[in-house]
Amino acid sequence: MGTPQSTMRARGTTRCPPALEQVMTAEARVDLPTASLDEAYARVVHALGEQAVLTDSDSVREFHDPYEGASATEFQPSFVVQPAGVEEIRQTLRIAAECEVPVWTSSTGRNYGYGGSAPVVNGSIVLNLRRMNRILEIDEQGAFALVEPGVRFFDLYSELKQRGLRLWMSVPDLGWGSIVGNTLEHGYGYTVYGDHASAVCGMEVVLASGEIVRTGLGAMDDSPLWQRHPRGFGPALDGMFMQSNFGVVTKMGIWLMPEPETCTTGSVICHRDEDIADLVDALSPLVLDGTIQGHPLITSSPEPDGGRATPDQDTDGLTTQQKLSATLPPGRWDARVAFYGRENVVRAQEEALREAVAHLPEVTVDLRSYPGDVAADDVHPLDLVPAGIPNMYLLELMQKHFGDRVGHLDFSPVIPFTGEAAARHERMVQHILAEEGLVGAFGWIANPRSLVGACMVFFDIDDEHERRAAHRAVYRMCDRAAEWGWSEYRAHPALVDKVTANFSFGDHALSRVYTTLKDALDPAGVLSPGNHGIWPSSPAQHQDSRKGTA
């Protein structure tokens, strides 16, 4: 790799090495504050070695928004740094601060539907933590693990099985992502610890200054309680490092579930459009009192013209709506539920569910039971996730019926756990999708008192008109949700400032607190500026560099 040379950029005179010219098109380049991108590049290579730095377009492409399309000029990284450990993170952050070049942190970069590893500020260096992939500890008696950011759900599951440990984990719909990364984004799984952010117990964090902090009881030297008790003495800081840009999380403790004697899971299926409110209201008290365990997933599946397709069917030549139906569970409404524990207790929980939904017209309760030590090959594909088994079934279905050029932009508001709210939400989403000529997979992840909407708005990556329509649709959904006092729990970089603007109490007092914290912990403002709408007060040029229009 040659010595970086100066090149004139489309706007301004920030320099970058020739290799970076392959990565950032002229339209995408932006001025970075008093920046010397080539200096940052040269210093990082010198400090970490060429093997830790990616600059060629094919390698860097993976760290763009995977669904951005060929003409994208927004949210473009310059190059990628993959540190092998904490000291290399510290070196990278020091160089970034001295060169005034922003750094965007990602764990494995699989945040699909929410931008992947794409930075808010064009030209940011992506600090990807994939190489830091050690499982540092698993404690069977205490039911916890300590992992680095590069550990995937697949990795931890494999380790549990190889060691023969009687522990279950919580997994999201796709198992290829980082446990730490998903958790920091407030991601969800579906078992008892499916609210991943609530299952965190202790973090190690590198601040922008290079200082290393351990939260909770990890702040005591050699404490055996770091992953056993979530709070130390004084304020609990774990939550401050989630959905933020206050530090780089390098270790995270997570709680695991003791292997149950049995797991019963499956679906409550309703068939009429008007059943959604009654179904949600029937399930709500059972989730609230713990009869239904984990996090149920309620899926909407409208009947397409021409009839539904099945997952195994060849859908070539069918309509988009029919192809979508092949990827969804049966019924107009499908509520996936689960029970875990001793067999006699699970039987009683199942009976309580059947009684609670018996009044719903033509309702079907379709459940399957598995022993706690069940092998993945013996589990129905629809039951893998509630059984805590990481997989790629959903993505494989999507690619089978839509091909590998289908993308999605996600709209994920939090709404009340009531039938009225769910019905209103679904009507709004389907109306906007129809007006924009789009389709989407739509449902809710259930918490005891709230539902998290999960709407994937699909589009052809190669069709610029469809891509813009998808962004326009999600913008409209965000506006309508805000009118009802609902907010997205997670968002694409194009939406973060829009979502943040809705938190307007006290003339946006919360945003001012975030900025105060940002300025205190990252005075140079170089660590993931704009992440979740959190900006430093200085340098202001970072905000001038952001891109966020539909």
- Catalytic center residues: 114, 489-490
What is the torsion angle, in degrees rounded to the nearest 10, for the CA atoms of residue 156, residue 157, residue 158 and residue 160? Answer: 90
CB of 120 within 8 A of CB of 546? yes
Cα dist. 471→24, 119, 458, 474 in Å?
Answer: 23, 17, 10, 5
285, 360 Cβ separation under 8 angstroms: no
Rounded distance, CA 324 to CA 270, Å?
A: 18
DSSP 538: S
Task: Report the alpha-carbon distance of residue 337 to residue 191 in Å, rounded.
Answer: 10
Question: Can you tell me the distance from the alpha carbon of 227 to that of 146, in angstroms, rounded to the nearest whole number?
Answer: 8
Residue 312's nearest CA partner among 400, 199, 435, 432 is 400
Strand partners, 369: 264
Measured distance CA(531)–CA(465) in Å, rounded = 27
Beta strands in 221-373 (DSSP E): 248-255, 257-258, 262-270, 297-300, 333-341, 364-371
**Ordered strands of the 125-128 beta sheet:** 53-54, 80-81, 125-128, 103-106
Cis-peptide, bond into residue 258, ω within 30° of zero:
no
Position of tokens 């522990």? 167
Q: Quickly tell me which residue has 């998903």 as its tokens.
A: 182
CB-neighbour burial class of residue 125 (10 A; exposed 0-12, middle 13-18, buried 19+) = buried
* Phi (first) and psi of residue 333, to 5 degrees: -135, 135
Q: Show Cβ contacts of residue 167 under 8 Å, excluding neighbours closer than 6 positions.
A: 138, 140, 143, 160, 256, 257, 258, 259
DSSP state for residue 302 in the 8-state scheme: P
CA-closest candidate to residue 57, choices 25, 12, 32: 25
C-beta neighbour count of 122 within 10 angstroms: 22
Identity of the amino acid at 198: S
Report the distance separating Cα 144 and Cα 230, nearest Å: 12
The length of the chain is: 550
Would you say 390 and 177 are in contact if contact means Cβ atoms under 8 Å apart?
no
Nearest-angstrom CA–CA distance, 518 and 35: 20
Strands 80-81 and 125-128: parallel
Question: ∠ CA 155-156-160 to the nearest 5 degrees?
Answer: 120
Please tell me whether residue 481 adopts helix, strand or coil conformation. helix
Distance CA 5, CA 249 (A): 34
